[in-house]
Structure 1
């Protein structure tokens, strides 16, 4: 039986990457309350985000470990207190703390990438009570497992997707063509979230899709912003698109026969 996180819509799923920033938007940046509200407003059921920990221990949705790209401030997120971040982000769409944002959008499913090792435990504790609509991921399998364990300790069981080490073992297993080996690698994993290519290497192939699907695990591809690529990947059989253009992706999935 699949995790409740997957029940928000049928596959293929659209995961709004860091929320949704309309092309004509002013005063809105990624991973803000306004960006999540915009994703919700266009009909997205799933939002993808990333988290870090502030200087005073608040988990916030932010991709980079510093403020430079988004605000021009070179300081690390971990060096800034929550209240100051609220002020800094006030005219950029509003700071999105994990706890407040998950509460504020009770119909959204959250796909949360644990970027900071220090954020893993507090994130797990935050999502424990909302585990039916949270998927935890990280490039680091150790970080995602730490967050999962914290949620489980409080009675929650979030969904999860494979980290980098698990994906590497998956690709080795796929190369053998062994369904049994792929199932073993993906035990305890609900989704595999991967780019279509890594440099010259094609990762998303018909063989990978077949073997991962045989293990009852979904394949979500990031970050897909071109409509032609969306249509092509959907025709190939991927289960989800992580995209900055959730508007285009929602149209692409709705146009599927």
Structure 2
């Protein structure tokens, strides 16, 4: 059992972990059995014994609270209109039989007298007011709880002052008493991507229950239970319940055996490959909404950065729940000897300004050594991937740089600014390359600058400071493609030291390019 789990669970008198199985929340009813957010889906979830049934509620044009997750009717009902622009009479005609969009009051009537709590998920204050008024007008006996956007929860409280609120939590930092002041929640509701032992302990110390979503696989469900969560939201109530009951019956045993490092690497590469293609599709299709700043006005972050990171964290957690994770936007989560590093959008300034030259970098390490890395280029639709000792590929083509001497004349070298500023020696480096008829390019994504060298595009690339979040995957790609990775002191195997300038190069040009670069650094 890992140290993070030992700290989070009690121990029974006979020395076994004392874990209380968490309650199960049926996500949108039973979407693997019946269409999500419909009366049949709610009925199946109740029949499966779900402790709570989560549904999404929006309002129609004439102010009727109905069950629907999306802003539009397109994905589920084949109608491109926004639900808020369609009257209830028109909404009621969609679908067939019982597979229709139900009113919230119809769901309340269906659950009247049942043991399952109805958990209403809301995204806007306007929807929340309509939903809260529908619940307030219902005279039956249904336990109702509320989750969703903070402004929606404030609106619910304005109608139902004693409402059972589940506070959405999108941070690796544990909650503090100040975080609870406005809504006085009973439950902390967090994406599995943000689940940590520290957050569970802090929430319990504050008198909060902890709920985690959305967990459909056995391994992360058992891991979450052993951390002490109080409820798990899932699309698969039956299998998850069976797995938890079996774990309880067997005394919450450790895994039958630890996977070998080869097994971890193989699973990690397959997962990283799938994630890369998911991120390519999302980044291309999701328009940039909000753009804010971090350290200074030139240090940008968009909603795409945050959404991609949250998605990737959740995907990794579902397969490797005990691994550590460090991301550009949400920071570091604890874990075992394995750690993932993610930059969801390397080149955010390009993205925010509509320039199609960005990338995602995802790298798995074991005890600080790179194991698997992928670089996803959304705009070229390319995934460059590498596994330690197994080479690097792009579009299933093996990448291999030979050691044939390569002149700098007529070649291209890539670099990046230090933030928005030139790094010390930048001008000298530019002049020295120009004197050799070699062109220097600054394109705006350090990950792609380094990864392109592995793909044979350009003779070399340099960055002012190594960070595994930004450059881990690309450095592994260069190593596995047969390129050379160097600091000022010479070649390195594995990662350069964090914060140190580094250079990657085609092996046939490495010595000359390194000498030019070091001279520039040393002024």
TM-score, normalised to structure 2's length? 0.40
Distance in 2 (CA, whole Å) between partners of 1:223 and 1:102 is 23
Task: Tell me the residue number matched to 2:92.
Answer: 86
Matched, 1:133 2:143: yes
Give the counterpart of 1:182 among 141, 166, 176.
Answer: 176
Distance 1:47 1:186, change over 3 A: same
**Structure number with higher helix proportion:** 1
Matched, 1:119 2:124: no
Task: Tell me the residue number matched to 2:364.
Answer: none
Helix, strand or coil at the partner of 2:93: helix
Contact 2:21 2:245 (C-alpha < 8 Å) held by counterparts: no
Relative contact order (C-alpha < 8 Å, sep 6+): which is higher? 1
Distance 1:131 1:160, change over 3 A: farther
Distance 1:120 1:131, change over 3 A: farther
Distance 1:114 1:131, change over 3 A: farther
Task: Tell me the residue number matched to 1:99.
Answer: 105
Matches within 5 A, 1:39-118: 39-91=45-97, 93-106=99-112, 107=114, 108-118=116-126
Task: Tell me the residue number matched to 1:37.
Answer: 43
Highest Rg: 1 or 2? Answer: 2
Matches within 5 A, 1:145-224: 145-152=154-161, 157-163=162-168, 167=169, 171-172=172-173, 174=174, 182-187=176-181, 188-197=184-193, 203-224=194-215
For residue 194 of structure 1, report the CA deviation from its aligned partner. 0.9
Q: What's the C-alpha RMSD, in Å, of the aligned pairs?
A: 2.2
| Aligned positions, number | 223
Task: Tell me the residue number matched to 2:426.
Answer: none
Distance in 1 (CA, whole Å) between partners of 2:210 and 2:88 is 35
Contact 2:111 2:142 (C-alpha < 8 Å) held by counterparts: no
Deviating beyond 3 angstroms after TM superposition, the runs of 4 or more aligned structure 1 residues are 129-132
Distance in 1 (CA, whole Å) between partners of 2:220 and 2:156 is 33
* Unmatched segments (≥5 aa) in structure 1: 1-9, 175-180, 198-202
For residue 54 of structure 1, report the CA deviation from its aligned partner. 0.5
Distance in 2 (CA, whole Å) between partners of 1:45 and 1:183 is 28
Distance in 2 (CA, whole Å) between partners of 1:113 and 1:42 is 21
* Unmatched segments (≥5 aa) in structure 2: 1-19, 250-523
Task: Tell me the residue number matched to 2:232.
Answer: 241
Task: Tell me the residue number matched to 1:12.
Answer: 22
Contact 1:16 1:48 (C-alpha < 8 Å) held by counterparts: yes
Moved more, 10-19 or 54-63: 10-19
| CA-to-aligned-CA distance 1:7-31 (integer Å, 9 cap, x gap) | xxx8611000000034xx4xx3100
Contact 2:157 2:163 (C-alpha < 8 Å) held by counterparts: yes
Contact 2:125 2:154 (C-alpha < 8 Å) held by counterparts: no
TM-score, normalised to structure 1's length? 0.79
Helix, strand or coil at the partner of 1:88: coil
**Structure number with higher strand proportion:** 2
Distance in 1 (CA, whole Å) between partners of 2:47 and 2:31 is 11
Distance 1:11 1:219, change over 3 A: same
For residue 171 of structure 1, report the CA deviation from its aligned partner. 4.8
| CA-to-aligned-CA distance 1:99-137 (integer Å, 9 cap, x gap) | 121121121311111123321112112223569711112
Moved more, 122-131 or 43-52: 122-131
Give the counterpart of 1:253 among 238, 244, 257.
Answer: 244
Helix, strand or coil at the partner of 2:156: helix
Contact 2:172 2:195 (C-alpha < 8 Å) held by counterparts: no
